[in-house]
């Protein structure tokens, strides 16, 4: 055989697949397609790392010492003739643009097997004589593949790309056994001003295109948060769910909460899929005069719990104080101590704590919105008033606020409800200018009307909903059996 044939035999040895050797290349860009220079790129398991160049490109590779020795012996040390003569060639195989060409001097069947980089067989064909085999129909993905070609006892294994042009003669027992590559690795990319990206790679002998997202720097405020802020986990995150002394009314859980002024029953519903590492919204439901927390729980916390399809919230309803007027000055202390206990026991998003209530319960939630702006994101108050209850001194801070008013309510009258709303409008807008904005209200026909104020600060939205109706919380549009109030409230809470 001529000298060219000897060189091909040497190449067959050099291209024998190894479970250890690989070449990983890629490019790192931002979302606009601009290359990111000097990004740190690291394979976490192997510990190999590099940085991207001015084009955002990188290369991480690992050579197999055995392969390097084979190449050196074959070419560098002049042993090509020895290798070829020790393993006489019985045929020829080449790969060009995904087409395998083969020839042999015998009539034995030629078996061609193609494996991907993780050892899965994607082609298994038996052919005869000489000819070609188009592998592109089964080898479509980019990256490295491995071919094992055998004629009788003569075998060869070599590596190629789907559109590569490697070629080799093969002789008897040239290949080491084809081994499945390792379990892959995780590739981490770190760049200044970008979110860290970690991707799992099952094939390290490949090319990847990676896109990094710019870090969103959340604006800092003296108090409160911007809309759609990242969760703010409490110290309860990472802890196992607390082993509270739960009691049950049917399937409804509750516990007795010991606080600085006694013991209070607290109704609670925690998602069945509770994850100690996931911050949950916390929603309070405050009972009305003549009601009880068990009733709030039975009604799904004013209809909100059934809407939480993705189990994103923990719902809580503390019992009132047992008096005809169920909430007074001491209950502001109860709220603080109960909130502290829940945040230290459960994984709660402290930036998304809400309170709701009807009638006297709405007046309590409304009072909390006056001086708990540092811990309450928003309240939803149904038939509320700015009087007939102990109210704290107002802090000059904004808070999300939604009010629902039945225009025929003769207990918490429209005059009282509008007065409560106007106090919040003054707190939630520059110089109180939102008080001069005229809200659209129900005009006497058709469904309810909700109005979102335009001149309040964006972080502290105000929604005002009106309809014909009396002193009830679950108003319904004409001809409807289902109240619109829960979904409207849920939508409002999801603004934050």
pLDDT given at position 164: 54
pLDDT at residue 167 greater than cutoff 70: no
Torsion angle (degrees, nearest 10) of CA 382, 386, 387, 393 = 130
Q: Residue 211 pairs with which residues in a beta bridge?
A: 29
Q: Give the CB-side neighbour count of residue 479, counting CA atoms within 13 A.
A: 3
State residue 104's pLDDT score.
65
CATH 2.60.40.3080 spans which residues of the chain?
3-171
Res 66: pLDDT:
47
For the domain made up of 3-171, give the CATH fold.
Answer: Immunoglobulin-like (2.60.40)
| Residues facing 384 on adjacent strands | none
pLDDT of residue 99: 72
Q: Of 120, 132, 90, 124, give the one whose Cα is nearest residue 107.
A: 90
Q: What is the pLDDT of residue 495?
A: 97
Distance, in Å, from the CA atom of 168 to the CA atom of 158, rounded to the nearest integer, reads 8
Q: Which pLDDT does position 108 carry in this prediction?
A: 67
343 φ/ψ angles, rounded to the nearest 5 degrees: -70, -25
Q: Which residue has the higher pLDDT, 421 or 388?
A: 421
Q: Enumerate residues 6+ apart whose C-beta is below 8 A from 366.
A: 357, 379, 381, 384, 385, 386, 420
What would the mean pLDDT of 239-249 be, rounded to a whole number? 93
Mean pLDDT of the 4-16 span: 30
pLDDT at 172: 36
Phi/psi region, residue 194 (left: phi>0; alpha: psi -120 to 50; beta: rest), is: beta
Dihedral angle, C-alpha 481, 486, 487, 490, nearest 10 °: -170
Average pLDDT, the chain: 84
Under CATH, which number does the domain 247-493 receive?
3.40.50.1820
User: Is the pLDDT score of 394 beyond 70?
Assistant: yes
**Where do you find CATH 3.40.50.1820 in the chain?**
247-493
- For 240, residues 6+ apart whose C-beta sits below 8 A from its C-beta are 276
Task: Give per-residue pLDDT as tens, 317-373.
Answer: 999 999 999 999 999 999 999 999 999 999 999 999 999 999 999 999 999 999 999
Residues 86-101: tens digit of each pLDDT: 334 456 666 666 677 7
pLDDT of residue 101: 73
């Amino acid at each position: 055989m001529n000298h060219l044939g000897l060189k091909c035999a040497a190449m067959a040895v050099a291209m024998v697949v190894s479970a250890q050797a690989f070449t990983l290349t890629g490019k790192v860009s931002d979302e606009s397609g601009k290359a990111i220079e000097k990004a740190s790129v690291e394979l976490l398991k192997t510990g190999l790392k590099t940085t991207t160049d001015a084009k955002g490109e990188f290369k991480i590779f690992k050579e197999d010492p055995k392969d390097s020795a084979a190449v050196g012996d074959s070419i560098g040390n002049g042993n090509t003739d020895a290798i070829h003569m020790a393993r006489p060639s019985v045929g020829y195989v080449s790969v060009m643009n995904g087409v395998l060409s083969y020839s042999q001097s015998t009539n034995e069947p030629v078996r061609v097997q193609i494996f991907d980089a993780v050892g899965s067989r994607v082609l298994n064909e038996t052919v005869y004589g000489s000819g070609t085999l188009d592998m592109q129909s089964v080898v479509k993905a980019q990256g490295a593949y491995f071919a094992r070609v055998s004629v009788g006892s003569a075998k060869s294994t070599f590596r190629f790309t789907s559109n590569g042009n490697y070629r080799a003669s093969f002789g008897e027992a040239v290949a080491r056994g084809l081994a499945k590559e390792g379990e892959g690795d995780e590739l981490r990319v770190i760049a200044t001003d970008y979110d860290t990206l970690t991707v799992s790679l099952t094939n390290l002998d490949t090319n990847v295109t990676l896109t990094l997202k710019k870090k969103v720097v959340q604006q800092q405020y003296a108090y409160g948060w911007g809309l759609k802020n990242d969760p703010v986990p409490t110290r309860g995150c990472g802890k196992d769910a607390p082993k509270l002394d739960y009691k049950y009314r049917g399937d409804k859980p509750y516990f007795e909460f010991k606080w600085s002024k006694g013991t209070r029953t607290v109704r609670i519903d925690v998602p069945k899929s509770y994850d100690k590492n996931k911050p949950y919204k916390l929603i309070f439901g405050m009972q009305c005069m003549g009601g009880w927390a068990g009733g709030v729980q039975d009604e799904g916390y004013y209809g909100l719990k059934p809407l939480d399809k993705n189990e994103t919230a923990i719902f809580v309803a503390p019992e009132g104080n047992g008096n005809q007027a169920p909430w007074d000055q001491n209950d502001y202390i109860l709220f603080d101590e109960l909130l502290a206990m829940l945040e230290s026991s459960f994984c709660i998003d402290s930036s998304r704590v809400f309170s709701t209530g009807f009638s006297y319960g709405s007046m309590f939630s409304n009072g909390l919105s006056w001086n708990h702006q540092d811990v309450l994101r928003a309240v939803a108050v149904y038939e509320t008033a700015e009087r007939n209850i102990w109210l704290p001194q107002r802090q000059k801070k904004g808070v999300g606020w939604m009010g629902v008013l039945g225009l025929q309510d003769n207990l918490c009258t429209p005059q009282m409800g509008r007065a409560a709303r106007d106090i919040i409008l003054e707190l939630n807008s520059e110089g109180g200018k939102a008080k001069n904005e005229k809200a659209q209200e129900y005009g006497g026909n058709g469904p309810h009307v909700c109005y979102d104020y335009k001149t309040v600060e964006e972080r502290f939205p105000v929604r005002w909903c009106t309809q014909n109706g009396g002193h009830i919380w679950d108003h319904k549009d004409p001809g409807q059996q289902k109240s619109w109030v829960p979904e409207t409230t849920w939508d409002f809470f999801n603004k934050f």
